[in-house]
Amino acid sequence: MRVLAAAKALSASRTGRITLVVVVVLALLASVKVVTWFGPVGSGLVAGPVIATVLLVLARRAGLSWDDLGLSRRAVRRGARWAAISFVVVAAVLLTGAAVPWIRSAFLDVRYQLDAGSALVTALLVVPLSTILLEEVAFRGVLFGLLHQRRRTAWAFGFSSTLFGLWHLLPGLSVANLETVLSVVGITALLGLLLCELRRRSGSLLAAVGGHWAANGLGVLLAALLWQVS
């Protein structure tokens, strides 16, 4: 009986610790939104890496291993292989979509009406540092790792992906109507599920990073190119 009671107490304390860390992670993510939304232009280039580092420190102190976070050395090769596969698949999908006249207009995002140099800087520097680094560490690294640590795979997929979709709610409201934004949130949540599967299957966050950059970075480059030729 004492052993059972001790086990229950340990489980309760672990659940409480995970809940506390999740709340702190969400609070930090909310603070990033405030900084990038109301702060100086380019503040995300600093806030993203800083908060990503803080989240990793927090996760390690909460007991997550590098393997739990998808950052173990032994998974790098497998992660790189899946990142390359996801890059090729996403590139094929984007190029196919851009070749279809009635789909092509969806790529003409006014934010990316850029010259070649600006498009490259945005895709290769701004997007990775201000967006992908933080989002992957937060959603597929820390939050996924916290929930998956206790073998709650469905929770890890569902919770992190739902939050990933909602994360894109506020920025979308500045460039589109509510109906379009809600569609974007839903699509982004589905993308989050795919990125979680890349993370789970490969055991590495690198796979999700590759797929994420392919969707965002290539999207920026393709949009800029289409604006140039339209």
Per-residue pLDDT at 4 exceeds 90: no
DSSP structure class, residue 139: I
- pLDDT band (50, 70, 90) for residue 177: low
Per-residue pLDDT at 82 exceeds 50: yes
Residues 18-34, mean pLDDT to the nearest whole number:
84
Residues 82-93, mean pLDDT to the nearest whole number:
95
Per-residue pLDDT at 7 exceeds 50: no
* Percent above pLDDT 90 for the chain: 52
Per-residue pLDDT at 218 exceeds 90: yes
Query: What's this model's pTM, rounded to 2 decimal places?
Result: 0.86
- pLDDT band (50, 70, 90) for residue 37: confident
How far is the CA of 190 from the CAs of 52, 121, 143, 155, 200, in angstroms? 23, 28, 17, 14, 15
Torsion from C-alpha of 109, 115, 90, 96, nearest 10 degrees = 80
Q: Which residue reads 């992670």 in tokens? A: 25
The tens digit of pLDDT for each residue in 59-68 reads 998 889 999 9
Distance from chain centroid for Cα 224 = 23
For residues 123 and 182, the model is more confident at 123
Question: How is residue 123 written in tokens?
Answer: 């895709």
Identify the domain containing residue 130 by its residue range. Answer: 2-229
Residue 63: the pLDDT is 86
CB burial readout 152-173, b (16+ within 10 A) else e: eeeebbbbbbebbbebbeebbe
First to last CA, the chain: 74
Residue 34: the pLDDT is 81
Question: How is residue 83 written in tokens?
Answer: 């990142």
Distance CA 131, CA 67 (A): 23
Residue 50: the pLDDT is 93
Residue 109: the pLDDT is 82
Q: Name the domain count of the chain.
A: 1
